[in-house]
Amino acid sequence: MFILECTSYYTLREASQERCYYLDSKEKRIRLTFCQLLALRERLNKISVEELFNTDKNQHDLTIVTLCGHQYFFLLSTLEVIDLKKVIRNAFVVMGLSHSPVAQVV
């Protein structure tokens, strides 16, 4: 397996032989196809980082993200959302599927 991106919360690996990706967190490893990885990127892009810091709208500092027909359920803190967005964005740059520079801050 080839590591595409690694941060303090997440590691995204590419398994060429299996034609899939593995998203590792401290709790578990999730197997994703490329289409599922794209869907995750779209869901994360819809999350406004500014609203995460708004205490009126996000009182408990948690965000829920579901994926693959609710097969995967993520309950993420604000820092984990920012970190996951960074991992996914940088992974697409490494794969050559995005032209934006490697993101340091979301």
Q: How far apart are CA 12 and CA 24, in angstroms?
A: 6
Question: Which residue type is seen at 43?
Answer: R
Q: How far apart are CA 6 and CA 10, in angstroms?
A: 6
- Is 87 among the domain residues? yes
- Is 49 among the domain residues? yes
Quick one: what percent of the chain has pLDDT higher than 90? 39
Residue 13 belongs to what domain range?
2-94
- Is 102 among the domain residues? no
Banded model confidence at residue 106, pLDDT cuts 50, 70, 90: very low
- Residue-level pLDDT at 9: 93
> Mean per-residue pLDDT for 5-9?
91
- What's the structural domain count of the chain? 1
- Is 34 among the domain residues? yes
Q: How far apart are CA 79 and CA 22, in angstroms?
A: 20
Of 27, 53, 76, 60, the residue nearest 88 (C-alpha) = 76
- Is 80 among the domain residues? yes
- Is 101 among the domain residues? no
- Is 63 among the domain residues? yes
Is the per-residue pLDDT at 12 higher than 90? yes
The string of pLDDT tens digits covering residues 44-96 is 999 888 777 776 776 777 888 888 777 888 888 889 999 999 999 988 888 87
- Is 100 among the domain residues? no
State the average pLDDT for the chain. Answer: 84
- Residue-level pLDDT at 58: 67
- Residue-level pLDDT at 10: 93
